Structure 1
Amino acid sequence: MTRRGQFRGRAVDAGVDAFLGIRYAEPPFGARRFAAPVPVDDAGDCREFGPIAPQSARLPGAPVWRPGDEDVLTLNVWTPSTSDGPWPVLFYVHGGAYTFGSSAQPDYDGTALARAGLVVVTCNYRLGFEGFGHVAGHPDNRGLLDQRAALRWVRDNIEAFGGDPDNVTVGGQSAGAGSALFLAAWEPVRRVIAHSVPNRVYTPGFARRVAEWIDTATPGSAVASADALAAAQRTGPLGYDPVLFGPVADALPPLAPDVDALLCHTDVEYALFDAVGTFRPPADLREFGREWGIPDHVVAAYEHFEDAPVRLAGDFVFAEPTTRIAEAHGRAFLARFTRPPAWHTADVPFSFGNLDGAGQEEGFSLIGGPAGDDERALSRRMLRAWVDFCTTGDPGWTGVRHWGDEVAARREPWRGVDLSAPVDHPVQPVS
């Protein structure tokens, strides 16, 4: 057992201490349900992850939500135990379509990064309707407000764990990457790591249409009715990928030019959703493009691919938006993750150094199978790049990087295509 002030954590290896399940805000239920988070100054026994936010997902190696679990606004800290620092801080937000996931997933274990010289903080936040649904008289984007409260906790408390409050990097992947952009626009941070940023923000009108079909009586009924509504989306744009929740905003915020930035996307993002069955491939590629607002000439450029819908959707939602954010920033570092299967989230275990916790024991591997020597060498390079970037603003990449003609050809049709419009799709009723 280790002690940092009044926080009681545990040693997870010879060089790293972990403090898990630290409360940063009051439980957001009862009279506080659908309200902004109420910060709390808490301490005590911090050796186990806290309960996760209401959701129906059952993810490999992660806890599940059960009705009655309410103390869901907690965070976790991994810190080097070899000295008092100050160490650079990585505040990392988990992904999951703003609807599922938690900081207790094995992929987000911060031990390897802390061993390499970072203080790593992850947090739980409200998801789905609890975090992003429209409720009259209550704030939108409550999940983002939770993250902001957790980040402020870091600013006020991380020095006790050896972290440098003046050297904080906000990071995330997918929904976590979109969240990181909002946090960097709201709070003073030095750096941003954003992998696979989705071009998904939602209009107030869309949020109101979704809310019409949500049973808000209890957190459990809200989850169940949201699941039923997602399953009912069989026509229109939501018929292919029924993601109903996310930030209500006009657009993703740009990165400030004085904030260091490291961005990445994978080569075939939507291959993951195709593999797990959440993406419903279209029968007609041209019709699919029109419903999603993708011009015909862009669709035509993908028709020769055997997996054309998967590649088109992945580039539209993740790859092209992430690349444009890097280009608009002007001096951002940008990477493409191409190691097969190179699908959405495959890069995360490599960056965290958690290849053995990437779901293999559950029969589905994020990285496509067991890790060998080549995978471990790649993971060491990617983890080191994150540590160096969080420390200095430079991931340490050297030499000429050229992605080749195939990448240029895939990007060329997108030139001049507007990707910034918020989601305002029709919502099919539950029958």
Structure 2
Amino acid sequence: MADGLRTETGAATFRTTSGVVRGSLSRDGVRAVLGIPYAVAPFGANRFRAPQPLLDPGASRDCRGFGPIAPQSARLPGSPAWRAGDEDVLSVNVWAPTPSEAGPLPVLFWIHGGAYTFGSSAQPDFDGGALARAGAVVVTCNYRVGFEGFGHVPGFPDNRGLLDQAAALCWVRDNIAAFGGDPARVTVAGHSAGAGSIACLMAREETRGLFRRAIVHSAPNAFFSPATAAAVARRIAAEAGVAPTGEGLLSASPYRLVAASDRVAGRLRDDPVAALQAYDPVVFQPVVDGDVLPAHPLCALDTGVARDVDLLVCHTVEECWFLHAVGGVREISSETGLADFVRALGLPARLLDGYRVLMPDAPLLDRYLALFGDAVFGEYGRRLAERHARAGGRVHASRFARRRRTPGGQARPWHTADIPFAFGNLDAPGAAFLIGGAPDEPDRALSRRIMRAWTGFAADGDPGWPALTAGAAPVKVWAVPQDHLSDDAGSPARALWRDVRFDVLRR
């Protein structure tokens, strides 16, 4: 077990299974301990292997700054960049309120997104201070992304990034009491690829007991078969100039594989490995390998594997407008192109007519992005909720619909716009782009409401509105100036998707 040691002026010190760690103490009483290693550096003899436990109780570490991030080429606002040679990339960060007489606090464990390819826990919008002040111990983690975390390497486990996340949760189980957290009330939360990771963790028997609740925002229905993962790896190996074998890939530096992966991704719109990559050129996804990820999460949830986990699901109303704005999806300019897109996703052609009826005055681009967002994010999240509830799990559903007028038009409720609100970081670097400008007081009020829902759910499973039942599908709609409850049971859009399969691999 880990033990808290002392809090002194400007500093906080704790004993963990990986040694004594020293963080900082803010003026408002939040203790921030950053860059705590939870596993051995995954390079050298440990490269491409499952994370190895770090047992170094005699160590003493200054943990007042974020640790190195996983190999990637992304440069995000206010975030550190990866540098070749950085190796201690498996770390967690903890924000904890000053101890109170109320006893152990609920724990919020955050998994960042980034298309399984980029991102880190050091992004400013993931600072856990505001949520800690709201009454939770907040943990964020780094894990291997890109080829290091999700590339197929013969002779080594797939889904190494998922294994890293599970190892970080084990660290929380063994150490969070020292920070005032309750290891029996861990809520794992994530967005986009982070939310997709949570669906995968829920599908694994091995992670049972590591978290009691889950918050899933904008989870993508994005998975590779072993054959597709191997085909992608062969292309990346060829681009890197090495054999697509364990030995060959080990001979390529992380920098070389990052560069090769980026070049392959840049060509996927014209030469995809799988049809959907022509529209969404992402080269890494969790692999349904029958081992680390035993089955598609929807199929796994059907078995009741995670029925003891309370689930809170959310998606944004206009998910794919963000991906369109940043050039992340292919442009379509004709009805023929839209029909080609529907075929690439393996969707029924009747959806084309259905969305014309739902959106009779909408331009082609709007219908395309609405269909794309529902296919990859919105409807998949709803299926996660329904399958989990059907198997006996408790589920609450929500939807982020906040929009407002801006000098350039309007701020849309798009992919990632909800996260600065959930963390209370509306003024963080990069947040203005996500939320459409500087926040106003109605925005800050909305942020406080979402944070209360998160911390309430983490505390006792109640975010403040009813759970799904067999006869009703209540959905909390987050909006300004005020929220409301909707019932999706009779939604025309839902009716369009009713018979569409989401538990098959379309890649």
Cα distance per residue 1:379-409 (max 9 Å; x no partner): 0000000000000000123797543789812
More displaced stretch, 2-11 vs 31-40: 2-11
- Give 1:126's aligned residue: 144
Q: 2:112 aligns with which of 94, 107, 122?
A: 94
TM-score normalised by the chain length of structure 1: 0.94
Q: 1:16 aligns with which of 30, 48, 55?
A: 30
Match for 1:213: what amino acid?
Answer: R
Q: Identity over aligned residues, as a percent?
A: 54
1:78 and 2:95 are equivalent in the alignment: yes
Counterparts of residues 273-422 of structure 1 (less than 5 Å): 273-283=323-333, 284-303=337-356, 304=360, 305-306=362-363, 307-330=366-389, 331-340=394-403, 341-357=412-428, 359-360=430-431, 365-397=433-465, 402-403=485-486, 408-422=491-505
Distance 2:149 2:346 in 1: 27
Q: How far 1:41 moved relative to its partner?
A: 3.1
Counterparts of residues 240-279 of structure 1 (less than 5 Å): 240-249=279-288, 250-252=295-297, 253-254=300-301, 256-279=306-329
- Give 2:471's aligned residue: none
Q: How far 1:373 moved relative to its partner?
A: 0.4
Checking the alignment, whether the CA contact within 8 Å between 1:281 and 1:310 is kept in structure 2 is no
Q: 2:208 aligns with which of 165, 176, 187?
A: 187
Distance 2:43 2:332 in 1: 40
Checking the alignment, whether the CA contact within 8 Å between 1:50 and 1:72 is kept in structure 2 is yes
Q: 2:276 aligns with which of 237, 250, 265?
A: 237
For the residue of structure 2 that corresponds to 1:98, the secondary structure is coil
Match for 1:88: what amino acid?
Answer: P
Match for 1:317: what amino acid?
Answer: V
Match for 2:398: what amino acid?
Answer: A
More displaced stretch, 4-13 vs 221-230: 4-13
More displaced stretch, 161-170 vs 371-380: 161-170
Match for 2:118: what amino acid?
Answer: F
Distance 1:405 1:146 in 2: 36
Q: How far 1:423 moved relative to its partner?
A: 4.0
For the residue of structure 2 that corresponds to 1:349, the secondary structure is helix
Distance 2:465 2:504 in 1: 34
More displaced stretch, 405-414 vs 5-14: 405-414
Residues 190, 313 of structure 1: CA spacing in aligned structure 2 closer, same or farther, 3 A cutoff? same
Distance 2:446 2:105 in 1: 24
Checking the alignment, whether the CA contact within 8 Å between 2:314 and 2:381 is kept in structure 1 is yes
Q: How far 1:413 moved relative to its partner?
A: 0.8
More displaced stretch, 393-402 vs 5-14: 393-402
Distance 2:131 2:228 in 1: 39
Distance 1:407 1:32 in 2: 52
More displaced stretch, 254-263 vs 203-212: 254-263
For the residue of structure 1 that corresponds to 2:340, the secondary structure is helix
TM-score normalised by the chain length of structure 2: 0.80
More displaced stretch, 179-188 vs 141-150: 179-188
Cα distance per residue 1:210-243 (max 9 Å; x no partner): 1112234110111111111111112442111111
- Give 1:223's aligned residue: 258
- Give 2:78's aligned residue: 61
Residues 222, 299 of structure 1: CA spacing in aligned structure 2 closer, same or farther, 3 A cutoff? same
Checking the alignment, whether the CA contact within 8 Å between 2:269 and 2:330 is kept in structure 1 is no
- Give 2:51's aligned residue: 37
For the residue of structure 2 that corresponds to 1:336, the secondary structure is strand
Cα distance per residue 1:165-213 (max 9 Å; x no partner): 1111111111111111222342312111111111111100001001112
Distance 1:374 1:13 in 2: 26
Distance 2:506 2:118 in 1: 19
Cα distance per residue 1:123-178 (max 9 Å; x no partner): 00000111011101100100000111100000001111111111111111111111
Distance 1:373 1:325 in 2: 34
RMSD: 1.9
- Give 2:229's aligned residue: 207
Question: Highest relative contact order (Cα 8 Å, sep 6+), 1 or 2?
Answer: 1
Q: 2:130 aligns with which of 102, 112, 115?
A: 112
Q: How far 1:83 moved relative to its partner?
A: 2.6
- Give 2:39's aligned residue: 25
For the residue of structure 1 that corresponds to 2:200, the secondary structure is helix
Checking the alignment, whether the CA contact within 8 Å between 2:396 and 2:465 is kept in structure 1 is no
Match for 1:132: what amino acid?
Answer: F
Match for 1:157: what amino acid?
Answer: N
Checking the alignment, whether the CA contact within 8 Å between 1:87 and 1:119 is kept in structure 2 is yes
Distance 1:192 1:276 in 2: 29
The unaligned stretches of length 5 or more in structure 1 are: 425-431
